[in-house]
Amino acid sequence: MKKGLILYVTAGKDEIPLNDFTKLCRAALMPGISAAYVATSEDEAMYGGWHLITRGMHQVWCSAADYNADSCKFELLGNPYRLCG
């Protein structure tokens, strides 16, 4: 079963390098997650859910996250919750 994750960035979203979005989404991958989508607004999070479903994800999860520009990594805030699937 393929799982997708939407990272809704709440802190550090001004520091996210959006020039290479595919590399950024690869950096957001975690064990057990087939694809990730990085969102900085509610509209982007909704689009991310649609994007992951059309890419064949059976489950779509969402989590709030902080972005650390120094280490170029995401830190999850709380537990992810399932949006669909």
Q: Which pLDDT value is given to residue 18?
A: 67
Mean pLDDT of the residues in the chain: 84
Give SS3 for 24.
helix
> What are the structural domain ranges in the chain?
3-84
| Sequence-distant (≥ 6) Cβ neighbours of residue 21 within 8 angstroms | 38
Q: Is the pLDDT of residue 51 over 80?
A: yes
Contact in structure between 58 and 85 (CB atoms under 8 Å):
yes
Of 15, 42, 38, 16, which is closest to residue 25 (Cα–Cα)? Answer: 38
